[in-house]
Structure 1
Amino acid sequence: MTDPRGDVVLRVAPRPADINSNGHIFGGWVLSQMDIAGGIVAGRIAQGAVATVAIEGMKFITPILLGDVVSVYAQAERRGRTSVAIRIDVVATRGGGEEQVDLTSGLFTFVALDEHHRPRPLP
């Protein structure tokens, strides 16, 4: 059965250095994981280099905790001439794998780049 969130592109466990003063994982940490996963998917579609140009509809649902195993799901939502929008959902596995918790989601737009770092058409 196909997961409606797309494919798991990354699976990572945050480290103690990633914790803020509230005991939660920094929002910037998860944002970077999402950008990495989105870039992997967009790069496959573009068959080359891409750059993040926009993040829309970012929603933090639940804090990420130390000990969570974080899974980043990504799938293409729409294509333009030079850009692709990737829907990214982040889920934590907690309690020794007993519980899955939705953490955050967002829509990241990437543009395909040529050798001069300028936008180029998608293949």
Structure 2
Amino acid sequence: MTKLPDREPTLRVLPLPKDLNQSGDVFGGWLMAHVDIAGSIPAIRRARGRVVTIAVNSFVFREPVFVTDLVSFYATIVREGTTSITVDVEVYSERDPMNPHVVKVTEATLTYVALDERGGKRPLPSMEGR
């Protein structure tokens, strides 16, 4: 039996009927957009400022997402470079309130780059004093 990770989710969202495709499942693009938002949150915090997505290193759809699912996104920094931050995002759906269960629906790895005020790459700030 799958369980939610034992930590606070980075993002939690309920899809709406407008987010469904012709088959009645949530659009993959909706899920991808929310994975990018969730991944950017720890990247922005670490960079202490603006970041942009430069790569979607991997993205695996494991299960469909339904309009009645409560979707939770868990993002963790897994690597840092001079200007870049790589984040793993795991996505779980809580289903069927009458018979609740959890399903892991997606996992992805994305890389972000810290930007300066002109939009150029900048080094990540030191971890000292945090």
TM-score bracket, normalised by the shorter chain, equals over 0.9
Residues 16-62 of structure 1 show CA distances to partners (whole Å, capped at 9, x for unaligned) of 00000111000000111111111111000000000000001210000
Give the one of 98, 101, 121 matched to 1:99.
Answer: 101
CA distance in 1, matches of 2:119, 2:34: 23
**What is the Cα deviation at residue 6 of structure 1?**
6.3
Q: Secondary structure at the match of 2:12?
A: strand
Instruction: Find the structure with the greater CA-based Rg.
Output: 2
CA distance in 1, matches of 2:80, 2:14: 31
CA distance in 1, matches of 2:7, 2:71: 15
Please list every run of 5 or more consecutive structure 1 residues that lacks an aligned counterpart in the other structure.
none
Identical-pair percentage:
41
AA matched with 1:106: A
Give the number of equivalent residue pairs: 121
TM-score normalised by L of structure 1: 0.93
AA matched with 2:51: V
**Which residue pairs with 1:18 in the alignment?**
19
Please list every run of 5 or more consecutive structure 2 residues that lacks an aligned counterpart in the other structure.
126-130
**What is the Cα deviation at residue 66 of structure 1?**
1.1
Flag the structure with higher strand content.
Answer: 1
Contact (CA 8 Å) 1:7, 1:74: kept in 2 or not?
Answer: no
AA matched with 1:16: P
TM-score normalised by L of structure 2: 0.89
